[in-house]
Amino acid sequence: MRSLELTDVQRPIVADLFLLTAKPTMYIANVAEDGLGDNPLVGAVRGYASAQGADVVVIAGRLEAELAMLDEADRTELLAEYGLEEPGLNKVIRAAYHLLGLRTFFTANDNEARASTVKAGATAPQAAGEIHTDFERGFIRAEVVSYTDLAAAGSEQAAKDAGRWRLEGRDYVVEEGDVILFRFNV
């Protein structure tokens, strides 16, 4: 099924079958710690996956297990020893989000911050609906700042003063890492 080229007429018919081979695929190559660099076996997996239009994420399972047991300082040190910037789990999560076409956005108030997920291409009202259906129904506007800009500014007010906070309407497409305050009226 992965290698079949379907017509526009055939695609919806096959979609109703919910075939596993029609689902998106990601390969995870679990290697020894010394195999994280140039590894011919990983190259073979990449070639196989490429032929199917799939992504490959390389991890060292034993190293991942060890990293999970460490505190932040020791984890950073161990990653540096292996020349890694982040744990493999982070790469797997990011690849899965990409594969499934998902975006993460954040909402916050004085007491808490929450992360929510929407499909790529979701508009601000659709994202508001992920929080509560009333938010989508009564959507007025979204106040948006990217997490990167908010973190660089240091505070909500500093981001506003720097002109990074913006008002967006119904047509705004939510981007990865947006921090959003939804205005609504029900």
Q: What is residue 52's three-state secondary structure? A: coil
d(CA 126, CA 100): 17
pLDDT of residue 89: 93
pLDDT tens, per residue, the chain with 186 residues? 567 788 889 888 888 888 888 888 999 999 998 888 888 999 999 999 998 889 999 999 999 999 999 999 999 999 999 989 999 999 999 999 999 999 999 998 888 999 999 999 999 999 999 999 999 999 999 999 999 999 999 998 999 999 999 999 999 999 999 999 999 998
**CA 4/CA 17 separation, integer angstroms:** 15
SS3 152: helix
Q: What is the Cα–Cα distance from 67 to 76, expressed in whole angstroms? A: 9
Residue 1's pLDDT is what? 56
> Which domains are present in the chain?
10-100 (3.40.50.300), 102-184 (3.10.20.30)
- Please tell me what DSSP assigns to residue 87: -
Q: For 175, phi and psi rounded to 5 degrees?
A: -105, 155
Q: What pLDDT does residue 85 have?
A: 92
Strands (E), the chain: 26-30, 55-59, 102-108, 113-119, 139-146, 166-168, 178-184
pTM: 0.77
| Residue that has been written with the tokens 């705004």 in this structure | 172
